[in-house]
């Protein structure tokens, strides 16, 4: 019996050894490293060898919480297309990470239409209001001056007691423009003041800063190229730190010529040599001054005949009754109300 077992053991032993050897060879083989693509510009040090796959993995996107906040100041006023243009702008802003909308009405009080719109917009939004004095409503005078200054005042008051650094970017986003999402990616890296082209403005297909060797050296514009900053309001962004470090920089009424508000504002905070060209050295148009077509209401009845109340725009009559000459500024419903003296 023992001899039979011993003979069977000797018969199976070679096969067991063969299996052990094969398994040992397979386990000792290391996976070959992935080859880096030839001709790449990132193989520093002249190694010329293959890099592991982990070493050439694309960089991860920055967490949303680490992104600087974009503050978009939007003046708005009552008109038939107001809600339509705010809706279009809100649809764009909802796709931008870490954006805070500062919506400023040209009115003595917040209108019900805009208040309801803000409540349902699904955006971090501050709703302010300040009326434009009647003497500044004449044709040829700059518009939205008081509203942009109200947005600047709110921004400074909010951050004046917060410790630095406070990363953020300010952008003046009029509600009658069209914005590419790529524009917000470009402006978010603004160190001081960044600039880019604007389409459909100044009587041309576009206007832009002229860039040579990464520096702005002039302006391609259809109107007054001799301006210090021949640029549209939608053509620049400013770092929040610059806004906070220049507390007196505002848009001027007195002494400011028509079409010079951008220049008068930028002169207070930067120079042409310091401008940061964006959008591929100012060769890509990412914002357009489209404007909504003037509405034809020739068939609108003098008196309201519909049995259903359809909300389109605030009542002009109610706004006229609320007009006031004092400068007032109020926060959104969730924020405290406050007034700022002129």
Binding positions for UDP-alpha-D-glucuronate? 75-77, 106, 143, 148, 174-176, 289-291
What residues form the annotated binding site for Mn(2+)?
176
Query: Cβ distance 285 to 183 under 8 Å?
Result: no
Omega before 165 within 30 of 0, i.e. cis? yes
Catalytic-role residue among 105, 146, 207, 262: 262
DSSP 252-307: -STTPPTT-HHHHHHTTT--GGG-EE-HHHHTS--EE---PPPP--TT--SS---S
Closest CA to 342 of 151, 150, 159: 150
**Rounded Cα distance, 80 and 294, in Å:** 9
Per the annotation, the verdict on 262 as an active-site residue is yes
Nearest to 81 by CA among 93, 72, 89, 92: 89
Q: Count other Cβ atoms within 10 Å, centred on residue 138.
A: 7
Q: How far is CA 273 from the centre of its chain?
A: 23
Which positions are catalytic? 262
């Amino acid at each position: 019996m023992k001899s039979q077992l011993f003979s069977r053991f000797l018969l199976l032993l070679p096969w067991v050894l063969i299996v052990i050897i094969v398994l040992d060879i397979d386990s000792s083989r290391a996976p070959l490293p992935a080859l880096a693509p030839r001709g790449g510009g990132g193989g520093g040090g002249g190694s010329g060898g293959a890099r592991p796959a982990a070493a050439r993995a694309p960089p991860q996107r920055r967490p949303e919480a680490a992104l600087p906040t974009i503050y978009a100041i939007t003046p708005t006023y009552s008109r038939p297309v107001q809600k339509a243009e705010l809706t279009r702008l809100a649809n764009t802003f909802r796709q931008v990470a870490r954006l805070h909308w500062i919506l400023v009405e040209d009115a003595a009080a917040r209108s019900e239409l805009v208040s309801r719109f803000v409540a349902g917009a699904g955006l971090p939004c501050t709703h302010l209001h300040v009326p434009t004095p009647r003497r500044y409503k004449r044709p040829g005078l700059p518009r939205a001056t008081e509203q942009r200054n109200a947005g600047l005042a709110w921004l400074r008051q909010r951050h004046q007691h917060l410790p630095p650094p406070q990363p953020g970017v300010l952008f003046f986003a009029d509600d009658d423009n069209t914005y590419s999402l790529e524009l917000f990616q470009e402006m978010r890296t603004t160190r001081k003041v960044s600039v880019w082209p604007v389409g459909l403005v100044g009587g041309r297909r576009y206007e832009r800063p002229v860039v040579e060797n990464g520096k702005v050296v002039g302006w391609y514009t259809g109107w007054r190229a001799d301006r210090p900053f021949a640029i549209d309001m939608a053509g620049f962004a400013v770092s929040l730190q610059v806004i906070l470090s220049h507390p007196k920089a505002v848009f001027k009424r007195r002494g400011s010529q028509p079409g010079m508000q951008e220049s008068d504002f930028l002169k207070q905070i930067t120079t042409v040599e310091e401008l940061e060209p964006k959008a591929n050295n100012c060769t890509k148009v990412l914002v357009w001054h489209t404007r909504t077509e003037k509405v034809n209401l020739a068939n609108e009845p003098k008196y309201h005949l519909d049995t259903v109340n359809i909300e389109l725009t605030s009542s002009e009559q109610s706004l006229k009754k609320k007009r006031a000459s004092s400068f007032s500024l109020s926060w959104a419903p969730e924020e405290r109300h406050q007034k700022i003296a002129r």
